[in-house]
Copies of this chain bind each other. A is one copy, B any other.
Amino acid sequence: MSDSSYTDGTAAVSAISAADPIRERIAQAVSDVRSTTPLAQSFTNFVTINLVANAQLAAGGTAAMSFLPDDIVDTAKIAGSTYINVGTLLPFYKDALADIAPKLQYLGKPWVLDPVAAGIGKTRTAILQSFKTAPPTVIRGNASEIIALDAMWELGANDGAEGETTRPAGVEAVDEVEAAVDAAKRLARYLAQHAAGGKGAVAVSGASDLVTDGETVYRLPGGSAMMTKITGAGCSLGGVTATYLAVAEPLTASIAASLLYNRASEIAERESNGPGSFQVAFLDALWNVTAEQVAQSEILIG
């Protein structure tokens, strides 16, 4: 892959070189997970909890799922990272999550938030708003969720240079992921400012995934449209991001997880005949893709 640059209508974009140092960090993260089998714990929804755990295992990590504050805190102490996904809410989550997030912050443990369905339901909104004071290290969502969370946290209003409304008019007419660029950058800067390690990242999933640390925006082309035909592709990507976050800093962890997913889903699409065999082949590919294949993926910047 050679350096190149072009304009995609919203920004000048160039491909990073095969020798870019970030590739070494990505390869290291993929390898480190496989050699050290780090524990990432999850508080996640009931629909896809099984796939989250199996994807973490297939990527090389280990998994533990918990819902009670005393379980989460005990496990957080021995885990490298935690993943919180607000997909299927139960009544006690509101108090439990308001208790858990500050404890993770106090422990200085990195965690990934998946703000599933942000904007739907007043309980979910209350939970997501509460995270502003004890924020995660990484956020992964689709464009609408990232835009909604940025609006809930009112980050746009305090961000002079990019003080536009959080959701541009006519969003449906443009690429969904591109519509979330500014929200993603604002959120990532906010996470970095509040992180124990001073670093944060936001990943936006879509036809072409986007990851940012608040300064640089990385676009990760490829993947398979079949990922939208199985439930939990996004949730389990959040979980695997937590697995990588147990061994790498937020930006590297987020890019590595998205690239692993893109390469594995491409392989699975070729080897399957529908969504049933696709999911099976996808888990196999998470296990079999090499660190080299992941790290030498096409990565656009700008």
Interface residues of A (CB under 8 A from B): 45-51, 53-54, 57-58, 63-68, 70-71, 74-75, 87-92, 117, 120-124, 228-232, 272-277, 279-288
A123-B71, A231-B53 known; A276 vs B279 contact (CB < 8 Å): yes
Beta-carbon contact of A120 and B54 below 8 Å: no
Give every chain B residue within 8 A of A53 (Cβ-Cβ).
Answer: 47-48, 231
In the bound assembly, the distance between CA atoms of A153 and B213 in angstroms comes to: 50
A50-B232, A58-B229, A65-B46 known; A123 vs B70 contact (CB < 8 Å): yes
Give every chain B residue within 8 A of A49 (Cβ-Cβ).
Answer: 46-47
Beta-carbon contact of B66 and A230 below 8 Å: no
Beta-carbon contact of B75 and A231 below 8 Å: no
Give every chain B residue within 8 A of A122 (Cβ-Cβ).
Answer: 70
CB-nearest residue of chain B to A58:
B275
Give the interface centre of A53, A121, A274 by most chain B CB atoms within 10 Å. A274
In the bound assembly, the distance between CA atoms of A170 and B114 in angstroms comes to: 40
* Listed A/B pairs (16) with beta-carbon separation below 8 Å: A47-B50, A47-B63, A54-B230, A54-B276, A66-B89, A68-B121, A68-B123, A71-B124, A74-B120, A272-B284, A274-B288, A276-B281, A276-B282, A276-B284, A277-B283, A277-B284
Leading 9 A-B pairs by shortest Cβ distance: A274-B284, A276-B283, A53-B231, A274-B287, A71-B121, A276-B280, A276-B284, A70-B121, A74-B120
In the bound assembly, the distance between CA atoms of A284 and B279 in angstroms comes to: 10
A50-B50, A232-B50 known; A64 vs B117 contact (CB < 8 Å): yes
Give every chain B residue within 8 A of A51 (Cβ-Cβ).
Answer: 50
Give every chain B residue within 8 A of A288 (Cβ-Cβ).
Answer: 273-274
In the bound assembly, the distance between CA atoms of A68 and B279 in angstroms comes to: 29
Give every chain B residue within 8 A of A281 (Cβ-Cβ).
Answer: 276-277
In the bound assembly, the distance between CA atoms of A88 and B96 in angstroms comes to: 14
A74-B120, A274-B288 known; A67 vs B54 contact (CB < 8 Å): no
In the bound assembly, the distance between CA atoms of A228 and B60 in angstroms comes to: 11
CB-nearest residue of chain B to A71:
B121
Beta-carbon contact of B92 and A90 below 8 Å: yes
